[in-house]
Chain A
Amino acid sequence: MNSMIELKFKPKSRIREFLGEKFIAINAFVALIAIILIFIFIFKEALPIFTDPEIQEEASLGKMTFKQEYYEGREPKWSWQPNSEVPKYSLLPLFIGTLKAAIVAMLFAIPLGVGAAIYSSEFANKRMREIIKPVIELLAGIPSVVLGFFSLMILATILQNLFNFTFRLNAINAGVALGIAVIPIVFTIAEDAMTSVPQSLRDAATALGANQWQVSFTMVLPAALPGISAGIVLGFGRAVGETMIVLMASGNAAIISGSFTDSIRTFSATIAAELGEVVFGGGHYTVLFFIGTLLFIFTFLINLGGDMILTRLKVRIQGKA
């Protein structure tokens, strides 16, 4: 038998080893190269905003930020109407819409996600945990277009019947659906942080006279707090970047209003709804890629931050255990 196995290995070939390793190494850099290319190619299409005077005439940084007097004699305002006679590219209505949806989503997802994570990690028995985990995985497995569809067709009607909204599709409806998509992220990261708190710390608290829930709330929760906040931060990143749900469930009206029962239009939904009908390389096209650049940078920073918190937490908990 042994001699058979030995024969299976052909004589060593240094060249093949070398080429093989290099080939594997090249493939390993795809993710890194991809993230760099994504930034370069999206920013490249948005670049005319900073360089091309013709585009700047339509949409400059100032025009996207500050109040504009679009028609002579009328009051200046912030407005997103890229297809009107005088194209208006103010990002403020979209920013407000994005923020409103994300706020509702987080208000909905944080208590449920963190609460369920605490229950699963601290109180649940083994059988209960075997129910919770698959439920969360199922929830995470629902495609966002299905969640968008659900909130457009079903959730919006339920909420309207409950609260008598003027607009069927509004920030609350979109935010709740968005929250459903965010719950698994918050849950998974928070639960992971709590279960990685070493048993020795729990034992120490128990030895000092704490009962089960006192161990959880005086020992485990404070220790896992960075992980829980990382889950919330990453969930917020998802809420801002998520597209199909808000595209279908928010009403897509770019209006400035503080009310959560008005329709909203978010950054991501704007790109999805409008990119299909723009002139390649025109002002509108450039602005949409600029919004894409903003979304990319924002989520990049959020992910970097969340990542850093989690890495540090891991070192702290495991390195000291």
Chain B
Amino acid sequence: MMFDNTIITNKPASPALDFKPKSHGYIPRGLTFAAVIIIIIMLVIILGNIVYNGAGTISWEFLSHPPENGMESGGIFPAIFGTVFLVILMVIAVVPVGVMTALYLYEYTDPSSKITRIIRVAINNLAGVPSIVFGLFGLGFFISFIGNGMDSIFFESEGPVWGQPAIIWAALTLALLTLPVVIVSTEEALRTIPRELREASYALGGTKLQTIARVIIPQAMPGILTGSILAVSRGAGEVAPIMFTGAAYYLPYLPSKLNDQFMEMGYHIFVMATQSPDVEATKPILFGTVLVLLLLTFLLNFVAIFIRSSMRRKRVNV
């Protein structure tokens, strides 16, 4: 309503006078173009520096060996392993919940209903909670409340079994952090499924649940996949939420149980960059690790973008 006023009633009397014909807007065009160029240059500087300094380090040895000599030589295999283990657990936790949330919001409820709106606000807010707050929550809820609670029920006399930093708590913390990513992606996919497909399924006698399981989910698979990949890419790069919930600076063994601690690439970068006694000596390994993490997240992002754009293309054809 306001909108109409500003656009229409403010200008009608002498519209032609407001638009001076001589001005072509070269200045705004140039300035905004400059903004684009600066952003591109920054990206090139960041990536160029990291690739230039890190590319020499990457070798099969670097990827497959544990660190040696207080991180000054050797590789980052345990950090890669820990990261992969972590995001696998995270995906197992986040994808089913995220997909079902999207299904509930899109297939079961009226989008204008109060409860849908409240859930939507919660999802948007969850996406905006600072990652360090997730870390605090993981410590306060998963470790001290759930973990200690489990310990006091099942393992009375022993030391902490679950009530300590562990890969499962870090993974669950990250799962909450990435939940909005999965929900949004899945919902976008649900929106592209034509109504006729649902109606066809009902016409053949399918129930709602059968329709969802046999028609909706297979059709939405690219979107679910995109969401999962983006969640992995996001989760693999987050450090603040796992600092207190399970990541360790150095471990002589690989995590094998859900309550083990683990090494992780992002945390490895943080610790090496800020707490290494001799930063110059660790520099090649540091840049190498950053490059591996960056390649991993970019690769995942590219795959996600590719799946999404081919999904969009398909929608146009339908």
Residue numbers of A with Cβ under 8 A of B are: 5-6, 8-10, 12-13, 16-17, 20-21, 23-25, 27-32, 34-35, 37-38, 41-42, 44-45, 111-116, 118-120, 122-124, 128, 131-132, 134-139, 141-150, 152-154, 180, 183, 201, 208-214, 216-219, 222-223, 234, 237-238, 240-244, 247-248, 268, 271-272, 275-276, 280, 288-289, 292, 295-296, 299-300, 302-304, 306-307, 316-317, 320
Contacts and interface: CB of A to CB of B under 8 A. Distances in A.
By secondary structure, the A interface counts as helix
A36 to B, nearest CB: 8
Given A12-B205, A27-B104, 17 more contacts: A21-B209, A24-B103, A27-B96, A37-B141, A41-B140, A44-B140, A138-B43, A142-B46, A143-B293, A146-B50, A150-B50, A208-B11, A210-B19, A243-B240, A292-B136, A295-B133, A296-B133
A307 B35 CA distance: 26
Contacts of B180: 31
Interface string B131-144: 11111110111001
Most-contacted residue by chain A among B32, B47, B145 (CB, 10 A):
B32
Contacts of A8: 214
Interface stretch (B62-70, B71-79, B255-263, B265-273): B265-273
B237 interface: yes
A246 to B, nearest CB: 10
Contacts of A42: 133, 136-137, 140
27 contacts: A5-B204, A21-B209, A27-B97, A38-B141, A112-B39, A114-B35, A119-B33, A137-B305, A139-B39, A141-B297, A143-B237, A149-B290, A180-B46, A211-B19, A211-B24, A213-B25, A213-B28, A214-B19, A223-B6, A238-B128, A241-B132, A241-B133, A244-B239, A295-B133, A303-B124, A304-B121, A317-B3
Contact of A154 (B19, B49, B141, B297): B49
B119 A38 contact: no
By secondary structure, the B interface counts as helix
B237 A241 contact: no
A21 to B, nearest CB: 6
B25 A214 contact: yes
Contact of B137 (A41, A111, A238): A41
B210 interface: yes
Interface in B197-227: 204-210, 214
A171 to B, nearest CB: 18
B61 to A, nearest CB: 22
Contacts of B133: 38, 42, 241, 292, 295-296, 299
Nearest to B241: A243
A3 to B, nearest CB: 10
Contact of B128 (A17, A112, A139, A237): A237
Most-contacted residue by chain B among A41, A268, A306 (CB, 10 A):
A41
Most-contacted residue by chain B among A30, A114, A288 (CB, 10 A):
A30
Contacts of B301: 137-138, 141
B31 interface: yes
